[in-house]
Amino acid sequence: MRDDVAEGVIQRSFLFVPGNRPERFVKALDSGADAIIIDLEDAVAAEEKAAARAAIMQTEFARPDGLVYVRINAADTPWFSEDLTVLQHAGICGVFLPKAEHAENIIQVRAHTACRVIPIIETAAGLCHAQEIARVSGVERLAFGSIDFQLDVGCDGSNAALLYARSQLVVVSRYAGLPAPIDGVTQATDDVAQVTAEARYAKSLGMGGKLCIHPRQVNAVNTTWQPTPEEIAWAHKVLAAGSKAGANAIAVDGVMIDRPVLLKAQQILACCLDSRGGR
């Protein structure tokens, strides 16, 4: 089991690949996604789950540039215990736990493996208990299961309907000292404009990445979480002005610049350094 996720590098794009399609594993790693998630849950029928687990265990993931996670089945399903066995694979760096609703769900996983856990918040119960979930030892980050969440609460899935849930996960993650949460999927696999729009919206709320269900979505997600040329130019201008001014008050383009703005400029340039070599 790998536990060498690069410190300080925040993954932006997570591409799902069905666990019963091992011929797609390498293709997924070559997609440009920061990480792939081999799915044992929704993408795999009950009668194929055992074969999917075997396929994972028989695959060698010897790619230092590609992080491999597994989405197991939820803790209350009959496949949960057997799914945990695949986390002993040397190439797996972590586990996505669906339908996470209580801290005990993560503790159950950690009792069987030292693997890092990304709980997927997909229900009202999970959102209400997100703070206690986020503070469990071994939790790497939170993810939002937006499709299942809208089904659970009976909303229409619009930005307005999901705003509270997304913002809650952003605030909870910050309070718990976790990286910014991962947004849910965009169901339109051929509409890059929609993927980009939804990714930009999630980023504007403070989310730090997005789940992908098709390789065509990956580049749009990666690009969204990279600073734009305009943002980079602004950051350089602000930091240059701050360096010259010292402790004096300064203005850039008619706007007063204080410490929080300087820190924001530093964050923008730090994102450029953490771009994983253009992946």
Give the pLDDT score at 2: 39
Report pTM.
Answer: 0.86
Q: What is the pLDDT of residue 146?
A: 98
**What is the secondary structure of the chain as a DSSP string?**
----PPTTPPP-EEEEEETT-GGGHHHHHTTT-SEEEEESSTTS-GGGHHHHHHHHHT-----TT-EEEEE---TTSTTHHHHGGGGGSTT--EEEETT--SHHHHHHHHTT---EEEEEE-SHHHHHTHHHHHTSTTB---EE-HHHHHHHHT----HHHHHHHHHHHHHHHHHHTPPPPEE---S-SS-HHHHHHHHHHHHHHT--EEEESSGGGHHHHHHHTSPPHHHHHHHHHHHHHHHHHTTS-EEETTEEE-HHHHHHHHHHHHHHHTSGGG-
pLDDT of residue 247: 59
Residue-range domain boundaries for the chain: 13-224, 229-278
pLDDT value of position 40: 98
CATH topology of domain 13-224: TIM Barrel (3.20.20)
> Which pLDDT does position 5 carry in this prediction?
44
pLDDT at site 279: 41
Ranges of the chain whose pLDDT falls below 70: 1-9, 62-65, 245-249, 272-279
